[in-house]
Homo-oligomer: A and B are copies of this chain.
Amino acid sequence: MNKQQIVILGAGYGGLMTALHLQKKLKHHHTDITLVNKHDYHYQTTWLHETAAGTIHHDQTRIPLDEVIDKRRVHLVIDTVKAIQPDEKKVKLANSELTYDILVIALGFETATFGITGLKENAFMISTLNKARLLRQHLSYNFAQYHNEKKKNPARLNIVVGGGGFTGVEFLGELANRIPELCAEYDIDKAKVRVINIEGSPTVLPGFDPDLVEYAMNSLEARGVEFITGALLKECNPDNIVYKKNGMLTQIPTMTTIWAAGVKANPIVEVSGFQTNRGKVEVMEDLRAPGYEDVFVLGDCASIKDPETGQVVAPTAQMAVRQAKVAARNIIKRLKGEEKLEAFVPKTLGTVASLGNDDAIAVILKNWKIFGWKATFMKKMIDNRYLIRLGGWNLLFQKGKFNFFY
């Protein structure tokens, strides 16, 4: 008997949720499900800014795949995807090769550095668990080093965050709460520490509701964050950055630049022969790649337009999780031989940005604005709800966020 081979690439929000839906629904089907991932754990990309700032431990942001995957139903391959050959229905991994009948590409993002001088070499990123915990250690290291040098070096205490989008702002919120702890830990006067955000637009969170943006900037400024808006990062060196504002170049001494201003799809997608736009597959409404009826593309690797506005929708965790549900249902339809697949509707339920563990802003259903503890509560509930979906109440109790009333 020839079992259908379903191969899922990536155990991020999109890939892992697809695997979990299929493992639940395909109990009596003659299929093999294979999930390929670089690490033996899933991590919550949306929590990495907390790990990076050192406000939560990285083990709270990651979940061993073993704990959520039923190994009797899903075959787990820990390996790196090297190439996708959709015409041969093959995937090359670093250590083996897979053949598929149905493929799900959910390989996530990489940081885009837009060719800014020195950025790739010298800036820190919040894009992976390994990078996030490195940044946490780098921050502590510089604070620890400060009093060991005869000539005190302000570059050790200046922290520059490039980009005031969601990742940048959420990281600033955590950092603002972490700095007083670091100062106490290493006997450093808080007034000597500068946290500087550089953003190209006139405000942070461009496109977000202006009242809430003002709320966010006030909340962060009150905790010592400086905003330099309408400015572009031009250079990132090991001990300084240069930005341009109003045609003028300014240098800031810093050993810690965090680049939070750009992501791109995993570059493997672009070189695999799919029709792409800015490196992403412009998927059909049923989430399949044009021309390949058995390839689904999710999350950061997919480009999806909102049919109402015609705008490309932001590839959030929320989107990826909802795409996974539709993709799983469509895969089952394909297995049953159905021709008509379900369309994914890229509706956003709302957007919440945390500003540290005790403050947040949110827009719900496009016009209900909330901020402060209510938004914080909502953010933590969203995070917790995802954990329940992933691994039930057990996982929630292990990794959940219960510090609601700080």
Contact = CB atoms under 8 A, between A and B. Distances in A.
A130 B133 CA distance: 22
A148 interface: yes
Interface in A134-154: 134, 136-138, 140-141, 144-145, 147-148
Contacts of A92: none
Residue among A133, A138, A145 with max Cβ neighbours from chain B (10 Å): A133
B141 A186 contact: no
A234 interface: no
B130 A134 contact: no
A137 B186 CA distance: 11
Contacts of A147: 130
A141 B148 contact: no
Interface residues of A, number: 14
A136 B147 CA distance: 15
A95 to B, nearest CB: 16
Residue among A137, A145, A148, A186 with max Cβ neighbours from chain B (10 Å): A137
A89 interface: no
A131 interface: yes
B141 A137 contact: yes
Contact of A133 (B131, B133, B186): B186
Contacts of A131: 148
A325 to B, nearest CB: 31
A130 B144 CA distance: 7
Nearest to A59: B185
Contacts of A130: 144, 147-148
A145 B145 CA distance: 17
Residue among A130, A140, A144 with max Cβ neighbours from chain B (10 Å): A144
Nearest to A140: B137
Contacts of A141: 134, 137-138, 140-141
Nearest to A136: B144
A148 B127 CA distance: 11
A97 B145 CA distance: 30
Interface of A: 130-131, 133-134, 136-138, 140-141, 144-145, 147-148, 186
Given A130-B148, A134-B141, A134-B148, 8 more contacts: A133-B186, A134-B145, A137-B137, A137-B141, A137-B144, A137-B145, A140-B141, A141-B141
12 contacts: A130-B144, A130-B147, A130-B148, A131-B148, A133-B144, A133-B186, A134-B145, A137-B141, A137-B145, A138-B141, A140-B140, A141-B141
